[in-house]
Amino acid sequence: MNEKRFRYHREDFVPFPITMEHMDIEIRFFDAHVEAANTIALKALEPLTHIALDARDLEIRSVRFRPHGSPPQDARAVPYRLDEQQHKLLIVPPRPIPAGERFLVETESLCRPSDHLLEGIYKDVTPPGAPQQYMSQCQQWGFQRILPVIDDCRAKCTMTTTLEGDARYTHLISNGNISRRHNPDGVPVPVPGHPHRKRITYHNPVPMAPYLFIACAGTWDELVDFVTYPSGRTIRLEYLVPPGRRHDARLPMDILKDAVLWIYHNQGYEYPGETYRTICMTKSNYGGMENVGNTTIVTDAALVTDHSLDSHLLYTYAVIVHEFEHNQCGSETTMETPFDMWLNEAYTVDVERHYMADRFDPTFVRLQQVDALRNPLLGPLAIEDGGAAGAIVRQGFNDPDELVDSVTYVKGAEVIRMLRLMLGAKTFDAGIRLYFTRYKNGNANTDQFFQCFEDAAGVSLAAFKKKWLERPGYPKVTARTLYDAPSRTLTLTLRQDTAGDEEPFPVPVDVALVDHHGRDLEGTAATLVLTSREQTFRFADLPFPPAFASLNRDASFYGSFAEENRDDDTLALQALKDPNRFNRVEAFRTLTDRQRILQITSPGCAVSDAWLSLYGRILTDADLSSACKACMLRIDEQPLDRRYAAWFPELVRARDALMAAVNARYAADLTACFHELRPSLVSPASLQDGIEKRLLFSVLVDLIAVADTPEVHGMLLDAFQNARTATERCAALTALHRSSWPGRLALLEETYALWHRDVTGYANYLKVIASGRHPDVWSLVEREKERPGFDLTHPTLSRALLVTMAQNTRQIWTEDGIDWIRRHVIELASINAGIARRLLNTFQHVPRLKPEWRRRVCLALEDIVERVSEKTNPSIFGQAAAYLESCRRHTVLEA
Ligand SMILES: [Zn+2]
């Protein structure tokens, strides 16, 4: 079965017969192609009759063999064969090579960069009047698209890289330090006999994994700053930005300076290089990529402008510290194979999360993380519910890009978080320090990572690793509390439901008992670890009966949680009093969930008066933080009770009913709150305060817009026209676009004219278009695709329009919507696989859909499997086939 589903398995990553010691590379950039010459110093680890290098979509000009230590003129041409299927260059040496012998292989090759296959060297958007802009992306297997190489994370080696290109380029960039022997002034020198070309040589003295290689040629402006470590050592920070946009990098530069020192103080890591560069790229399938000293970040996240939404700004903070942390976790200590990729990412995300919690309110940050966990299209819980994926350490893959998903990044980070909770912060820190010391400048796999924590803690983590890493799924935990007055004891029973004879997860549950005044009862705060199917914990000798137990604080484990015997009154009390603010939000969301499920199971039933009254109290609570208030008042389409997670049309109707009930009762209070909030949206107090207030503003706009009256349209238009930030503008414009206001199409057209020249502004506009609720949303999206400035291969624009559309549940869960997804997955499979994969996620829910929807989605999936080539788009094909298989499995079980 595995052989059918995956192209690569762990067994494929056998020890090498050969190792790379050094590469001497020369790369020459031309208008439409790139030439490369490489001399690789190799060492045979076993006797060799042929040499295999990775090479993909390359034209090979020559291959020569040279004994170790002999001069270049001794190189002699040898036979070779390019295996296009396996992406290998097979070289026959002049004689069998014994184990231990060193030798050199010289190759000359050519690649033709694409403008949509964003791997290896590719064509990025060129600034006006400049020569062709070239970027590179080598993770995972991009290097083999540049020149023949051993393209494997374990093949770490030193390199000298010479880049040559048009003299008009402002920068020719590769890894390492500029060679003063070749470039005495530290800048490119003219190529003798070619006055319009120049060249520069870099020397990279630290062995580096091939996926971190960078070779780019482009035109940028430069913003330079410095950061000094407490030791007095200074590193130079460079931001390479599109011409004329230096100003937009000032805030990101400040964030970077802060992040470098924060990493030093919190991770004990000091960057060893002289220069750390951040390079703006327009097209990329990723937000950013660490390339040892040369981080590439997509321009709309790298720069902050008037068009930057708060979500962008938060992402900018996160991606800057994330990519910088990769210097340690990933570049210095590297995963062994793609199966260990989560090691590079999960800990790096964990560091990024701590930085965010230090720079913003920790509860706000945790609420955002939990939203990402529960995201119905891309979140790991939804992926797992679909049943086709979910194990962090995969069984196999068709394309390493598949590993770049929320299972690796979000579930992986949750697993790290749980490991810390269970071991305690001190032991966890000792384990991670051991890991970075033991594997410095080397590679490590998942077992070796855990061994470090076992050594630090003196306990076995075999069960934790097996259950959380190597199999899919999450625990579904239910709690029951019972207070016994005579013995003054509270009994807490935790139970986890597992499928069949599956072993239970080790689950850390953070708890405390809380009194009627909203204070924790002394000595009751604890991290309980549920290791079996059912366990009982006792809190004895309590001074008085607790008002409630605050359980699973800050979502302490990855999974779903419910309390069996918690009545609405106790939840209401918790929503008002729990000192853990995350759990206040969660308590109110649980009450909302109960109303939502009533609307699903008995459509049209009255919304509870008690819930509405509590809603009103929260709306007018002056002491609640804006972020908590926003998260409590926001009525999601997603239920907490995951049994209903795939009931899409019903969830949309339930949300409409709840929002209508809120609007009917509180229209005046919502409007008052809105007017009171508006002057403070650009908070003079702090960035954090401004972001939180704007989050609340967006929630209020949605609730007020339910009324859809001329007065409301007037309010929204005023909010749009007088907005001072992009977040306000987009919230008001989205609400207007969804309303019946007659001027909406004209306003959208005006907005297009104003915003489309800036990539961030354009993306914001496209998101508004794709969030429409009128039937014309389909023709509007189609029209945007046809506009001359739009490009389906442009990841930022494509994502803004198409992924937003896929998240428009109201429209997608219709016959038209399902057909739209089907067509776009097929259309994008070969030109933008990253977006196609995300759109296809819509169908991951297929086994859990109601029969009529399941039938429609199955037909769409069958058509995708039929029309997407397994050979050229194995990852899309494999994903669709896996959904079909999981659907069939489910149908058989049901029958
Ligand atoms: Zn990363």
Strand order in the sheet with 548-551: 526-530, 507-514, 548-551
User: Judging by beta carbons within 10 Å of its beta carbon (0-12, 13-18, 19+), is residue 335 exposed, middle or buried?
Assistant: buried
Tell me, in angstroms, the distance from the centre of ligand 1 to residue 25's CA. Answer: 26
Tell me, in angstroms, the distance from the centre of ligand 1 to residue 345's CA. Answer: 5
DSSP SS3 for 277: strand
**pLDDT recorded at residue 194:** 96
Tell me, in angstroms, the distance from the centre of ligand 1 to residue 404's CA. Answer: 9
Tell me, in angstroms, the distance from the centre of ligand 1 to residue 553's CA. Answer: 27
Measured in degrees and rounded to the nearest 5, phi and psi for residue 695 equal -65, -45
Tell me, in angstroms, the distance from the centre of ligand 1 to residue 290's CA. Answer: 7
What count of residues does the chain have?
895
Q: Do the beta carbons of residue 386 and residue 847 sit within 8 Å?
A: yes
Tell me, in angstroms, the distance from the centre of ligand 1 to residue 322's CA. Answer: 6
List Cα–Cα distances, 417 to 348, 375, 379, 494, 710, in angstroms: 12, 19, 17, 20, 49
- As a whole number of angstroms, the distance between CA 543 and CA 553 comes to 23
In the block, tokens 């080598």 appear at: 138
Tell me, in angstroms, the distance from the centre of ligand 1 to residue 469's CA. Answer: 18
Tell me, in angstroms, the distance from the centre of ligand 1 to residue 797's CA. Answer: 22
Tokens representing 515 are: 């009194």
Question: Hey, which residues does 77 pair with through a beta bridge?
Answer: 64
Tell me, in angstroms, the distance from the centre of ligand 1 to residue 319's CA. Answer: 8
Q: H/E element holding 444?
A: strand 443-444
Per run of 10 residues, the mean pLDDT along the chain (length 895 residues) is 69 91 98 98 96 97 96 95 95 96 98 94 96 95 96 95 98 95 96 96 94 97 98 96 96 97 96 93 90 92 92 94 95 93 95 97 97 94 89 89 90 97 97 96 95 97 95 95 96 90 94 97 96 96 96 98 95 97 98 97 96 97 95 96 95 98 98 95 85 97 98 98 96 98 98 95 98 97 96 92 98 97 96 93 94 94 96 91 87 61
Quickly list DSSP for 289-348.
E--SSEEEEEHHHHS--TT--HHHHHHHHHHHHHHHHTTTBTTTBEESSGGGHHHHHHHH
Give the 3-state secondary structure of 823-861.
HHHHHHCCCCHHHHHHHHHHHHHHHHCCHHHHHHHHHHH
* Phi-psi region at 331: left, alpha or beta (left = phi > 0; alpha = psi -120 to 50): alpha
Tell me, in angstroms, the distance from the centre of ligand 1 to residue 292's CA. Answer: 12
Tell me, in angstroms, the distance from the centre of ligand 1 to residue 333's CA. Answer: 13
- As a whole number of angstroms, the distance between CA 715 and CA 709 comes to 10
Tell me, in angstroms, the distance from the centre of ligand 1 to residue 340's CA. Answer: 13
Positive or negative, the Cα torsion across 594, 595, 596, 600?
positive
**pLDDT recorded at residue 892:** 64
Tell me, in angstroms, the distance from the centre of ligand 1 to residue 324's CA. Answer: 9
Tell me, in angstroms, the distance from the centre of ligand 1 to residue 321's CA. Answer: 10
Identify the structural domains of the chain with CATH numbers, from first to last.
Answer: 220-306 (3.30.2010.30), 334-469 (1.10.390.10), 476-557 (2.60.40.1840)
Tell me, in angstroms, the distance from the centre of ligand 1 to residue 408's CA. Answer: 10
Max CA-CA distance within the chain? Answer: 97
Q: Do the beta carbons of residue 374 and residue 639 sit within 8 Å?
A: no
Tell me, in angstroms, the distance from the centre of ligand 1 to residue 474's CA. Answer: 24
Tokens representing 674 are: 């809105």
Tell me, in angstroms, the distance from the centre of ligand 1 to residue 573's CA. Answer: 41
Tell me, in angstroms, the distance from the centre of ligand 1 to residue 540's CA. Answer: 46
- As a whole number of angstroms, the distance between CA 706 and CA 661 comes to 10
Question: Hey, which residues does 163 pair with through a beta bridge?
Answer: 27, 200
Q: Do the beta carbons of residue 875 and residue 865 sit within 8 Å?
A: no
- As a whole number of angstroms, the distance between CA 81 and CA 146 comes to 17
Tell me, in angstroms, the distance from the centre of ligand 1 to residue 403's CA. Answer: 12
Q: Which amino acid is at 502?
A: E
Tell me, in angstroms, the distance from the centre of ligand 1 to residue 501's CA. Answer: 36
**pLDDT recorded at residue 225:** 98
Strand order in the sheet with 88-91: 51-54, 88-91, 80-83
Tell me, in angstroms, the distance from the centre of ligand 1 to residue 287's CA. Answer: 9
Number of neighbouring beta carbons within 10 Å of residue 485: 8
Tell me, in angstroms, the distance from the centre of ligand 1 to residue 289's CA. Answer: 7
Tell me, in angstroms, the distance from the centre of ligand 1 to residue 348's CA. Answer: 6
User: Judging by beta carbons within 10 Å of its beta carbon (0-12, 13-18, 19+), is residue 832 exposed, middle or buried?
Assistant: buried
